[in-house]
């Protein structure tokens, strides 16, 4: 059975009430990326960055998975072959919707990281600058998310999955951020059929063999079922 590799972005969580980044009134219209999603921004003003992620962590904790998250979990349960979900999202709505083995390439709001010793643990609801690391005690802690200029997680596994994919779907992503935006080309080069499921054409729409545009809670269950 063909392996199915799925990449998701903020658009799959939009109907669960979590903001996207580049839509009108998106997150990046309120916070300059360089201030809140780069290591330099964190070094300059850790309180601003921790507050940015505390707000998003609180919102994500209240959000519920939607029909698109649940449809992907159904696909994983019902499809005889392997279904790998790679997400750029840092919320846990795929898992809440029943998905398993989700690869969070940009990290997770629910996790914290110590820059000094590399220890990772479940983030408290509210993180503050210079919170001590529970392992080494040093005040070098941060949200365990991948900022611009940092290397995404699980890249070796992701490239391997894309090289063996028979079907690649990108759901709810604008195709602006790399290396995720290049996954469709990687999958197509390996012979996979490629489909974009998004509210509107992404900047990489021309890379896809098939497109289905509409709200994720409509187009994803239709596509899965």
* Burial state string for 37-69 with b = 16 or more CB within 10 A and e = fewer than 16: bbeebbeeebeebbbbbbebbeebeebebbbbb
Q: Is 17 in the site for ligand BV8 (CB under 6 A)?
A: no
Tell me which stretch binds ligand BV8 (CB under 6 A): 42-50, 122-130, 133-141, 174-182.
174-182
Footprint of ligand BV8 on 130-149 (CB under 6 A): 145-149
CB atoms within 10 A of CB 3: 19
Q: Contacting ligand BV8 (CB under 6 A), which of 76, 89, 141, 204? A: 89
Q: Contacting ligand BV8 (CB under 6 A), which of 202, 204, 208, 224? A: 202
**C-alpha atoms less than 13 angstroms from C-alpha of 43 in its C-beta half-sphere:** 5
Distance between CA 16 and CA 7 in Å, rounded?
A: 18
Is there a binding annotation on residue 172?
yes
Q: Contacting ligand BV8 (CB under 6 A), which of 5, 37, 85, 123? A: 37
Q: Is 93 helix (H, G, I), strand (E, B) or coil?
A: helix
Is there a binding annotation on residue 4?
no
Residue showing tokens 């392997």: 82
Interface with ligand BV8 by CB under 6 A: which residues? Answer: 9-11, 14-15, 20-23, 26, 37, 88-90, 106, 145-152, 155, 172-174, 176-179, 198-200, 202, 215-216
Output the known binding site for Zn(2+). 114, 117, 133, 136
């Amino acid at each position: 059975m063909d392996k199915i590799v799925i990449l998701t972005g903020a658009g799959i969580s939009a109907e669960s009430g979590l903001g996207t980044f580049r839509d009108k009134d998106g997150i990046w219209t309120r916070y300059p990326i360089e201030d809140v999603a780069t290591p330099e921004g964190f070094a300059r003003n850790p309180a601003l960055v921790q507050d940015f992620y505390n707000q998003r962590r609180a919102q994500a904790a209240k959000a519920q998975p939607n029909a698109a998250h649940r449809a992907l979990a159904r696909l994983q349960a019902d499809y005889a072959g392997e279904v790998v979900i790679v997400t750029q999202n840092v919320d846990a709505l795929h898992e809440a919707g029943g998905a398993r083995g989700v690869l969070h390439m940009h990290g997770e709001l629910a996790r914290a990281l110590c820059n000094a010793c590399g220890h990772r643990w479940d983030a408290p609801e509210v993180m503050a600058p210079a919170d001590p690391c529970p392992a080494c005690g040093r005040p070098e802690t941060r949200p365990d998310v991948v900022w611009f200029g940092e290397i995404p997680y699980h890249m070796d596994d992701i490239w391997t999955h894309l090289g063996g994919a028979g079907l690649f779907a990108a759901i709810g992503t604008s195709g602006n951020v790399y290396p995720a935006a290049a996954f469709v080309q990687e999958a197509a080069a390996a012979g996979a059929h490629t489909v974009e499921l998004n509210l509107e054409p992404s900047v990489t729409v021309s890379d896809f063999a098939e497109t289905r545009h509409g709200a994720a809670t409509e187009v994803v269950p239709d596509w899965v079922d």
